[in-house]
Amino acid sequence: MKQKICIEKLLKWAYCEELPKAGFEPGGAVRSGWASIETFAQLLTKIDDNEYGVVPSLNVNDGDPHEDALRVHAAVCGLSDRVVDFPDGWNPMPEIGIHEKHCAMALSAARFGIKNANRQPFDLIRRHAILGGCPGWEGEVPELKTAKTRKGTDAWFRMRVDHSTDAFGRPVERKFETEDGWCYVRKAPKIGAYRKFFFDPDPVSVLIGRGEYQMWWSHLVKLAENLSGQLEKWDVQPSPRVAIPWETGAPEPARILLAVSKNS
C-alpha cells in the first residue's frame, strides 16, 4: 500500500536522501547553477555535483536512487522550460496600492529584480527541497514618508534650468535639482516647488520574496498534480501551505505570479 506524503516532504526525500546516492558523473544532465556555489561558500572548496545537481553521498553502500526519486527529478526538470509571467494587477502587497504612483514604481523595481535574478521555478523547487523552508515573504507594510531637511522639516525641491554656451558659442541648457523650494519669508513653498516621498522601509525586497513564493507555491501544486498516481511507493498529497500567506482568509488567487511554458 502506498504511503501518503506531501509534495514538500517528497521533494526533500528525493533530493536529500535518494538522489545523492548517485555518484559524480562528469558532463551529466541538468545541474544546479547554485548548488556548487553555495557549497563552495560554506566549505571553501569545490564540490562536484552529481548528474542530479546534488552533492553525492560518500557511502558506496547506499545503493542506487529509488525509482520514485528519479521520477520526481524528471518532473522537476520538466519545469525548466517555463518563464516568468506577470499577470495584470499583480501586487503581493495590496496595502501600498493606495499610493498609486509609488506603488507602481516599487512593483516595477520588483519585477525587474525577479527577472534579473533569473531564479526559475526549477531552481526554486530544488533549492527549497534541499535547504528546506520556502522563499521568504515576511515583511512589514511600509509607510509613505516625506524627505526631510537636517532640521527635521519637510524638504522642498525645485528643478532649475541653467543657460550657457559651449566652446563653440552654441547655447547649452542644463537642468538640475535644488533643495531651496521653501520660502522662509512667506513661510510657504516657492512657485513650482515639490516634495519627495518614499516608502519606509523599502518594500522591493519583500515584493520580490513574495513573487518567488508565489512561483514556488504554484509549481508545488503543479508537481503534486503531475506526480499523482505516477509513483510506486508514495501517494502524493498537496502542500499544506496557502497561496497568499500574507493575506489572512484570502480567496483562491486569480493574479499570482506564475511561470508559463515558453511554447505556450
Kindly report, residue by residue over 214-246, the tens digit of the pLDDT.
999 999 999 999 999 999 999 999 999 998 999
Domain membership of residue 11 (yes or no) is yes
Residue 256 has a pLDDT of 66
- AA identity, residue 29: A
Q: How does DSSP classify residue 236?
A: E
pTM here?
Answer: 0.80
Helix, strand, or coil (residue 39): helix
124 lies in the same domain as 155: no
Number of domains within the chain = 2
Query: Do 12 and 81 belong together in one domain?
Result: yes
Separation of first and last alpha carbons in the chain: 38
Check whether residue 256 and residue 130 sit in a common domain: yes
β-strands 234-237, 3-6: how paired?
parallel
Q: Do 83 and 31 belong together in one domain?
A: yes
142 lies in some domain = no
Euclidean distance between CA atoms 142 and 127, whole angstroms: 29
Q: Which domain holds residue 55?
A: 3-88+120-137+208-261
Q: Do 155 and 25 share a domain, yes or no?
A: no
Question: Residue 191 pLDDT more than 90?
Answer: yes
Report the alpha-carbon angle 19-25-27, nearest 5: 115
What does DSSP assign to residue 132? -
Mind listing the pLDDT tens digit for each residue in 150-165?
999 999 999 999 999 9
Residues 125, 51: one domain? yes
Q: Are residues 32 and 79 in the same domain?
A: yes
Residues 6+ apart with CB under 8 A from 84: 114, 115, 120, 215, 257, 258, 259
Cα 133 to Cα 95, 213, 225, distances in angstroms: 25, 11, 21
